[in-house]
Structure 1
Amino acid sequence: MDTNRFLRGRRPIAVAILSQGVATVGTLGVVQAHYAVTATDLPLWGKLTLAGILAGATALLLQARLTWAVLLTLLPTAFVLALQLDLPAWVPAAALTLLVLAAGNSLGDRVPLYLSNRETLDKLTALAPSGEPIRVIDLGCGFGAVPRAFAKTNSHPESRFEGVESAILPFIVARLLAVLRRDSRIAIRYGSLWRADLSVYDLVYCFLSPHPMGSLFEKAVDEMKSGALFVSNSFDVPGISPTRTIPIESGRSTGLLIWSMPPEDRDE
């Protein structure tokens, strides 16, 4: 069986369960072997170190992101410390659950939560005329700052500013902030960016990671209408030069990479 194929759609819970299961079984086995040879118990620090290494290595073998693997490495120690501090056993489990709700999608899509800063929002919204109807979508919208920024700068009643987000906690926050804005032109929905129909949008924005850019650009080329803009924050498309780049001086000093559809130098 292709393990990664089996896990697709089941992450991050499956990765967490498998990594901690391997850590528990492996550590128990080493502890028993150590006692059989030395007639002494393995020190607590040794058990925790071994469990952490096994958990982290298993997560990496399952192609989890490095940050997630590090967190799973630390989880056995956090659990034991919670017990020693007389904290309820559900505390580390609750912390893990909260992390899954906030960024669990990053394991499958390899897309962490990035937030667009103020300079980025100003330069992004300047790409669209303020008084004309436009339809915009942010793929992986996080807390929904991009749709709200476009709604603030564009006054046309027929415009529509959308965001799609697959991490539960950011989606809930984005949806709540959109409701509080009381602007019917803003729409935030929960789901995969791969299921979004890009053919209806004038501007498609994403701030993702290097991993999905090639496949996402192919989707954009296949679906987006002529003259529409595909805008990536920071991450380029392999083999395809952007039509233009707008530098972003604040934050990580990156830029907005902009392609006008259809791209002129798309590699066949």
Structure 2
Amino acid sequence: MDIASNNRRESHAPLGTKLINSPVLRAFFAQFAAFALCLLFAIAGKHLLGKAVPFFVLIAFQSITSVGLASLLRVDWWWLVIEFFFPVAVVLALYVQLPPAASLLLFLLLFLVFGTTFRTRVPYYPSQSTLPAAIVELLPDETDIRFLDVGSGFGGLLFDLSNTRPNWQLAGIEISWLPWLFSNLKQRFLRHDNLEFAFGRYESLDFSKFNVVFSYLSPVVMTEIWSKVQNEMVPGTIFLSYEFMVPGVSPAAEILTAENAPMLYVWKI
């Protein structure tokens, strides 16, 4: 099954609009502004108290202030986690003093897994182990299941489905280098003939080749992927989304895969 396609849609939004809407720039501004306020706090504290403000107090001030500013700028919740722990991580890195080679290796590994988050606005979300069984129960055991996992990560879902339903045609697409490379090598080593992985953006695929499209992405992109689903998937096919709903579009079904697990939403096209 060839999942490659030249059906790419480029965004034509003005550069200024892209910069304003960029979560990276908003997160950077929140951290930078918090740092400036932290300096003012340190200077004012020294003049008022007659002694330096304790270092851990400054770190706490930086973390809390950056989270507050980022919240005002309406970034996603996972950016708030980054904002809070970034100052702590910087201090720990300076304190531990890792060898330059180790620091570079750690940076490269993190970049290969999470680097595309800045561009795609989709963080890495691993799904729970109960998800494959729920999908198998939902879909009929037919030979004509052509299943696409949008943002397949390390391929856990697809490998589980491949083991359970070897007659299904399964495909995944992933934009992060390390997860894609791992899943691709694992597929070749285990020789799952009904499974393949592509590297790239889901916008480059033609969804009409699949009768089931699954995504576990981010609330930020659900409107975009739903537009592509409507434009390309044929009537009678199924779109699945784990945890995140399409804004303003009621699903045909909501499946709780396990207690305290995210909901699996089902739309019939």
- TM-score computed with the length of structure 2 as normaliser: 0.73
Q: 1:36 to 1:96 in 2, by over 3 A?
A: farther
Are 2:152 and 1:144 equivalent residues in the alignment? Answer: no
CA contact 2:27–2:75 (8 Å) conserved in 1: no
CA contact 2:27–2:79 (8 Å) conserved in 1: no
Q: 1:146 to 1:120 in 2, by over 3 A?
A: same
Q: 1:184 & 1:106 partners in 2: Cα distance?
A: 30
1:93: how far off?
A: 8.2
Q: 1:124 & 1:164 partners in 2: Cα distance?
A: 18
Q: 1:97 & 1:31 partners in 2: Cα distance?
A: 34
Q: 1:117 & 1:210 partners in 2: Cα distance?
A: 18
Structure 2 partner of 1:52? 63
Matches within 5 A, 1:111-190: 111-128=122-139, 130=141, 132-156=143-167, 160-190=169-199
Could you tell me which runs of 5 or more consecutive residues in structure 2 were left unpaired when the two chains were aligned.
1-13
Task: Work out the percentage of aligned pairs sharing the same amino acid.
Answer: 27
Matches within 5 A, 1:1-268: 5-6=18-19, 12=24, 18-35=29-46, 40-85=51-96, 87=98, 98-106=109-117, 109-128=120-139, 130=141, 132-156=143-167, 160-248=169-257, 250-261=258-269
Q: 1:184 & 1:7 partners in 2: Cα distance?
A: 45
Letter in 2 for 1:199: S
What are the superposed Cα offsets for residues 174-203 of structure 1, whole Å, 9 maximum, x if unpaired? 333223222343222233334432111111
CA RMSD of aligned residues (A): 3.7
Q: 2:231 & 2:164 partners in 1: Cα distance?
A: 29
Q: 1:204 & 1:103 partners in 2: Cα distance?
A: 23
What are the superposed Cα offsets for residues 51-75 of structure 1, whole Å, 9 maximum, x if unpaired? 3234334544554333332333232
Name whichever of 214-223 and 234-243 sits farther off: 234-243
Q: Which has the higher contact order (CA 8 A, sep 6+)?
A: 2
CA contact 2:121–2:218 (8 Å) conserved in 1: yes
What are the superposed Cα offsets for residues 133-161 of structure 1, whole Å, 9 maximum, x if unpaired? 432111122221232233323444xx631
CA contact 2:210–2:233 (8 Å) conserved in 1: yes
Q: 1:8 to 1:137 in 2, by over 3 A?
A: farther
CA contact 1:78–1:92 (8 Å) conserved in 2: no
Q: 1:149 & 1:257 partners in 2: Cα distance?
A: 20
- TM-score computed with the length of structure 1 as normaliser: 0.73
1:204: how far off?
A: 0.5
CA contact 1:111–1:208 (8 Å) conserved in 2: yes
Letter in 2 for 1:137: L
Matched residue count: 256
1:220: how far off?
A: 0.6
What are the superposed Cα offsets for residues 79-117 of structure 1, whole Å, 9 maximum, x if unpaired? 334434555588788767655543455555554433333
